[in-house]
Amino acid sequence: MNKLGLPFLYAFGTSIVLISFLLWLGKRYNFSKIARRFGGLIVVLVFVSLVLLNRDLVITKPILGILIGGIMILFFGLWDDLKNLSWKSQLLFQIIIAITAVSFGVRSGFISNPFGGTINLENPAVYFTLYTLYFLLFMNSLNWLDGVDGLSGSVTLVALGIIIFLSLMPHVNQPATAILSAIAGGAVFGFLVFNWHPARIMAGTTGAWFFGFLLASLSIFAGAKIATVLMATLIPVLDLVGVVWERYQENQSVFSGGDNRHLQFKLLKLGLGERQIVIGVCIASVIVGLVALNLNAVGKLVFIVIFSAGYFVFRNLKYKI
């Protein structure tokens, strides 16, 4: 357990120290408003640095792809945090990041077929398309969830915990994925100390994109157990689908933004506090994630269908804006 516990603690402590120093600098030199948006920058830097320094990890080409993707997110995300790029520019950058990661081997040559066997993904046209869309789904789901203090980071932390359990299961046996997840979890947990309501620092575009990118990458690493990680993040994924569908129905751009259609805003409108929302969503994510660890492929598919149906019934029951 030292191979997981120590990297987690190192990442947690480093994240705490660097964020504290950043906030001190912002206060000392009068740029606190800008400094508050750089929480994601710290998470990326801590993750990349401690992965490179970890002696139990061999930096394979796919792991290098994750690190390069993280650095690209750092630059593109900071650009957006400072300049507020258009949705077209953001989408283009996300596609570039995803294609870069897949090019470095952050992919699997197969995915499980819930009805038996596997689905071959060796055709480049197929796997580039499929995995690029997969990265976009996660990056935007976690980004769109980042509307309440602590929510996006907390859901990410829960999903990382599920990936650790999954990676250590005998039929998966991916210790490198568990170590990567532990480092990421420590960095995110340190960030959450300052991001809990009322937040003193924000994830920004950098952090939200990186959260989604990490979860997508690590789910592929964990023996292509995409369905399990998808279940652990089912709430933000369904929220994205629901928002896109509602905008489409009203002939709005699905990337328009600036509205209150997201689940967290609907729950705020109902009178729930930010902390209550975070705790509630995290409890639901933990339960769903643990259920996913104990279901076979068909069971996961059935659960996703039933949970999705229940979610959309809840979403549309007296909650229209």
Number of domains in the chain: 1
Structural domain contains residue 110: no
- What b-and-e string marks burial along 144-171, b requiring 16 or more CB atoms within 10 Å of the CB? bbbbbbbbbbbbbbbbbbbbbbbbeeee
In a domain, 237, yes or no: yes
In a domain, 141, yes or no: yes
d(CA 89, CA 306): 36
Residue with tokens 């490198």: 176
According to DSSP, the residues that pair with 111 across neighbouring strands are 119
What average pLDDT score do residues 47-62 get? 94
- In tens, the pLDDT along 217-234 reads 998 876 556 778 888 888
- Is 51 domain-assigned? yes
Q: For residue 219, is it within any domain?
A: yes
Judge whether 192 lies within some domain: yes
Q: Tokens 């599920």: give the residue.
A: 162
Measured CA to CA in angstroms, residue 194 lies from 21, 118, 179, 210 at distances of: 12, 43, 24, 18
Evaluate whether 204 touches 196 at the Cβ level (below 8 Å). no
31 vs 54: CA distance, rounded Å: 34
Bridge partners, residue 112, by sequence:
118
Would the CA dihedral through 299, 154, 94, 109 be positive or negative? negative
User: Does residue 281 sit within a domain?
Assistant: yes
Q: What is the pLDDT of residue 321?
A: 46
**Which residues form the domain of 96?**
2-104+118-316
> At residue 113, does pLDDT exceed 60?
yes
Question: Does pLDDT of 2 surpass 50?
Answer: yes
pTM, full prediction: 0.91
pLDDT tens, residue by residue, 255-290: 766 677 788 888 888 888 889 999 999 999 999 989
Q: Which residues of 196-231 are buried (b: 16+ CB within 10 A; e: fewer)?
A: beebbbbbbbbbbbbbbbbbbbbbbbbbbbbbbbbb
In a domain, 221, yes or no: yes
Number of Cβ atoms within 10 Å of the Cβ of 17 = 13
